[in-house]
Amino acid sequence: MVEELVGNCLIGQSGGPTAVINASVAGVVAEALNHASIEEVYGALNGVLGLLNEDFVDLAAESQQAIRGLRFTPGAALGTCRTKLKKPQDFERVLEVFKAHNIRYYFHIGDADSQETAVKIGELAKAQAYELRIIGIPKTIENDLPATDHCPGYGSAIKYIGATVKELALDAEAMGQGDLVTLIEVMGRNTGWLAAGASLAKRRDHPNDPPHLVYLPEVPFTNEKFLDDIRRVLKREKHCLVVVGEGLVDKDGNYVSVETSSTDALGHAQIGGVGEFMKDLVESQLSVKARVARLGITQRAAAHFSSKTDADEAFLAGQAAVKAAVNGESDKLVTLVRGDGDNYTCETGLTPLTDVVGNLKKLPREWINEDGISLNFQFFRYATPLIQGEVVVPYDNGLPSYARLTRESVDKTLPAYEG
Amino acid sequence: MVEELVGNCLIGQSGGPTAVINASVAGVVAEALNHASIEEVYGALNGVLGLLNEDFVDLAAESQQAIRGLRFTPGAALGTCRTKLKKPQDFERVLEVFKAHNIRYYFHIGDADSQETAVKIGELAKAQAYELRIIGIPKTIENDLPATDHCPGYGSAIKYIGATVKELALDAEAMGQGDLVTLIEVMGRNTGWLAAGASLAKRRDHPNDPPHLVYLPEVPFTNEKFLDDIRRVLKREKHCLVVVGEGLVDKDGNYVSVETSSTDALGHAQIGGVGEFMKDLVESQLSVKARVARLGITQRAAAHFSSKTDADEAFLAGQAAVKAAVNGESDKLVTLVRGDGDNYTCETGLTPLTDVVGNLKKLPREWINEDGISLNFQFFRYATPLIQGEVVVPYDNGLPSYARLTRESVDKTLPAYEG
């Protein structure tokens, strides 16, 4: 029998926003209110910064309408950040804040990298014998978390990418007098999940449909093969539509295109411009006109066109996190588990958070065809169910009407953190 | 009484695709089939290239389903081109082709620049006493055609831009720890209609909503004022969201950012990169992080999120063109005429094609506030009705299912054109 743990719960969002990260917040809030052992339901503003600075808001004070609205609102309603806690005193401070507010349940929505924070908070709580249950909720459009079949955020991103590729292909076909190369750059620092998702734009049994060439970080890039690929497609079609993941690497594992001048807050090199790099290559080596569409942050924000499957699963993951914690689980990540049947089904599972941190799930090599620039049926079988259904968004005067939280502050009780 | 002119009709598309240019084709086809005096309904492939090369397809042979599908399919189903006929023998050839196929009705869907072709064909036909009725149908996301209240294509483009700005604003707010400038670059070579349309993302009576700053080609740009504007907004908000039209100019009328190396097929300088120019300025002068989203061709192709008002008006314009021609009109452009009442209504009118060619409709200065970076109620009153309603697109496996024409060729009767 599970020991009842009575106290308050806290939700934090971390890393880049997605179209459905707020749906997970809605899932946590909706489920938390079902359990008497959870008293207050708080949100931490701007991820770990809110944990450090004791910046909490009272989510139970929000209207039901606002919480429901989170199911279709992009961004991160609680705010997020790219800061990563490193110093031991930072974690001491977080636990002090938790104790001050009797936080007994902490739900951390984030990618593999950011779940390390959850692991460390859990370890410190254990060392101090402070009873705390921590559950991670997966989130990333890049779909690179291990242990889960797929990640909330991915389905909506590739639904948008797939539709956009279809539309840009029609634009390119319309302009198709003489050779034209259209290069679409998508995100994906280390993996090709997003670039591969663009393949969903192909109709069933039309392998020659755009995108004609998909370049993945999993397949080392060479200029020579690239130019050969382009030549071959241009010979066959009126135009060539290319999709490329930003994290494309050469045979030595170096990014093909790095903006060397800048790094982000976590010290990652800012990559990008691989589309422009390819454009220069095509124009200089083949004397063919090329144009670049870099989808950028729109691909993680386009909630006017989210996958209902994805949004529902993000909500479900939030609910499952609360249920697990109330049932005595801790230091686990909620996973999405696909059923074995022919028809797609999905339920949630749990995996130790430590299995996830520092690990990365690449696109399986056996899902990529020999040619290195297309995906086989295994990828289509995997990805197609994830983009099914459309989230219905309410409109105000012709544009989506997204939810806003009132963010009623919780009183601070501690002196400001000096760091 | 109108003299009956019996013969075949031809439709051509010209210039950049839009989300609704095909809806005008559907309007022409649907209406043409109502009139016994119109025998065959042909489409010219790839705009004027099809006229020169006698590349016609039989649109009456297409399924009704395909023609209906054009009402929500982006791109240009007949193909388009950026070629402009210049030499007298080109026009002689076109008329020869028209005579060979007994073309008596020609419908030219295009922007102000491309309607010149229609004017010249009409003049030559008159000179040769070949009875031909020509009606232009307006098309451009840039909304810069004079004589019409607005252009088919514009409403859908600003609906997509408005939604995307809302979404990127939520993304930016979520990341808003410390100062962040988000720069969204939209199209608009000569006018700020598209950039202004981004303002629709503001909620009514929330002037401080994003976009915080809108830079229009109608207002000369200076680095100093720009940096002051940014400083002011960053002081007030956590972040600053900027929308800029690609055709921004300085006080001497020179583009702020020109990629000097390349020109397009019409000899226009390829502009672009004004977002990157601003990013460099912000980062170097203010030491503030900035990021750029260049919406590029997605803004003219995003039919998954078209305005129903716009798509319906594009269809209506196609129908009106046929009705006018059958009624004896020629050398006219179909215009959209807004009703005087408080509730938006729109019907079609006609204006001489010669009034349109070489003219450009700029955003009225009195619709822009004194500050030069925001729009007043006159713009909102004008633009809001144009984005109302959503086009319902059928889905296939989670993605929009767009129409494809079978493009059944019409037999050629003339020797190939040598040019």
CB contact under 8 A, B17 and A400: no
Q: Residue B163: pLDDT above 70? A: yes
Q: Report the gap between the CA of A398 and the closest CA in chain B (Å).
A: 5
CA distance A101 to B382: 52
Nearest to A147 by CA among A345, A360, A323, A368: A360
CA distance B216 to B191: 7
pLDDT bucket at A270, cuts 50 / 70 / 90: low
C-alpha pair distances (Å), B170 with each of A80, A214, A278: 11, 30, 31
Q: Looking at chain A, which residue has its C-alpha nearest residue B75?
A: A171
CA distance A260 to A255: 11
CA distance B334 to B374: 31
What b-and-e string marks burial along A256-295, b requiring 16 or more CB atoms within 10 Å of the CB? bbeeeeeeeeeeeeebbbbbebbbebbbeeeebbbbbbbb
Report CA torsion sign: B295, B298, B300, B305. Answer: negative
pLDDT tens digits, one per residue of A110-137: 998 899 999 999 999 999 999 999 999 9
Tell the burial category of B276 from Cβ atoms under 10 Å away from its Cβ (0-12, 13-18, 19+): middle
Q: Residue A296: pLDDT above 60? A: yes
Q: Residue A295: its chain B contacts at CB < 8 A?
A: 298
Considering just the CA atoms, what is the radius of gyration of chain B in Å? 23
pLDDT tens digits, one per residue of A216-231: 999 999 999 999 999 9
Q: Residue A266: pLDDT above 90? A: no
Q: What is the mean pLDDT of residues B55-69?
A: 97
B80 close to B17: Cβ distance less than 8 angstroms = yes
CB contact under 8 A, A397 and B175: no
Q: How far is CA A220 from the centre of its chain?
A: 24
Global pTM reads 0.96
Q: Report the gap between the CA of B18 and the closest CA in chain A (Å).
A: 8
CA distance B146 to B300: 20
Contacts 24+ apart (CB under 8 A), A248-252: A248/A215, A248/A216, A248/A217, A248/A221, A248/A274, A249/A217, A249/A220, A249/A221, A250/A220, A250/A221, A250/A222, A251/A220, A251/A222
Nearest to B143 by CA among B387, B390, B321: B387
Strands A56-58 and A38-44, sheet pairing = antiparallel
Give the pLDDT of residue B83.
85
Mutate to test the interface with B, among A380, A391, A399, A401 (most CBs of B within 10 A): A399
Q: Residue A314: pLDDT above 60? A: yes
Give the pLDDT of residue B344.
98
Q: Residue B80: its chain A contacts at CB < 8 A?
A: 174-175
Give the pLDDT of residue B262.
52
Nearest to A24 by CA among A348, A304, A307, A312: A312
End-to-end CA separation in angstroms for chain A = 41
ipTM surpassing 0.85:
yes
User: For B180, phi and psi rounded to 5 degrees?
Assistant: -145, 130
pLDDT tens digits, one per residue of A330-376: 999 999 999 999 999 999 999 999 999 989 999 999 999 999 999 99
CB contact under 8 A, B171 and A292: no
Q: What is the mean pLDDT of residues B55-82?
A: 96
Q: What is the mean pLDDT of residues B111-122?
A: 94
Q: What is the mean pLDDT of residues A218-247?
A: 96
- For residue A133, the SS3 value is strand
**Total beta-carbon pairs less than 8 A apart between chain A and chain B:** 173
* DSSP category for residue B75: B
Nearest to A80 among B77, B175, B397 (CB): B175
pLDDT tens digits, one per residue of A32-56: 999 999 999 999 999 999 999 999 9
CA distance B102 to B7: 6
CB contact under 8 A, A46 and B80: no
Nearest to B402 among A16, A170, A390 (CB): A170
* DSSP category for residue B18: B
Q: What is the mean pLDDT of residues B137-166?
A: 97
Q: Name A383's Cβ contacts closer than 8 Å, sequence gap at least 6.
A: A158, A196, A197, A199, A200
| Residue B148 tokens, joined | 């019409």
Q: Report the gap between the CA of A83 and the closest CA in chain B (Å).
A: 10
CA distance A414 to A403: 31
End-to-end CA separation in angstroms for chain B = 41
Q: Residue A262: pLDDT above 60? A: no
Q: Looking at chain B, which residue has its C-alpha nearest residue A200?
A: B399
- For residue B9, the SS3 value is strand
Give the pLDDT of residue A142.
97
Q: Residue B265: pLDDT above 90? A: no
Report CA torsion sign: A339, A343, A347, A353. Answer: positive
Q: Report the gap between the CA of B36 and the closest CA in chain A (Å).
A: 31
Q: Report the gap between the CA of A4 and the closest CA in chain B (Å).
A: 35
CA angle A66, B169, A318 (to 5 degrees): 40
pLDDT tens digits, one per residue of B209-223: 999 999 999 999 999
Nearest to B398 among A80, A164, A307 (CB): A307
pLDDT tens digits, one per residue of B358-412: 899 999 999 999 999 999 999 999 999 999 999 999 999 999 999 999 999 999 9
Q: Residue B170: its chain A contacts at CB < 8 A?
A: 17, 73-75, 301, 402
User: For A150, phi and psi rounded to 5 degrees?
Assistant: -160, 170
Mutate to test the interface with A, among B55, B170, B204, B205 (most CBs of A within 10 A): B170
CB contact under 8 A, B162 and A399: yes
* DSSP category for residue B45: T
Q: Mean pLDDT check: name the lowest of A200-204, A413-417, B108-112, B266-270.
A: B266-270
Give the pLDDT of residue B390.
97
CA distance A73 to A78: 12
Q: What percent of chain A has pLDDT over 70?
A: 96
C-alpha pair distances (Å), B403 with each of A346, B22, B26, B65, B359: 33, 10, 11, 8, 34
Give the pLDDT of residue A203.
94
Q: Residue B49: its chain A contacts at CB < 8 A?
A: 177
Q: How far is CA B251 from the centre of its chain?
A: 27
Residue A346: count of CB within 10 angstroms of its CB = 16
CB contact under 8 A, A170 and B297: no
CB contact under 8 A, A402 and B170: yes
Nearest to A79 among B176, B296, B307 (CB): B176
- For residue B396, the SS3 value is strand
- For residue A20, the SS3 value is coil
Mutate to test the interface with B, among A51, A165, A167 (most CBs of B within 10 A): A167
Q: What is the mean pLDDT of residues A60-74?
A: 97
Q: Name B415's Cβ contacts closer than 8 Å, sequence gap at least 6.
A: none
Nearest to A74 among B162, B167, B390 (CB): B167
CB contact under 8 A, A302 and B75: no
CA distance A128 to A109: 24
CA distance B202 to B210: 6
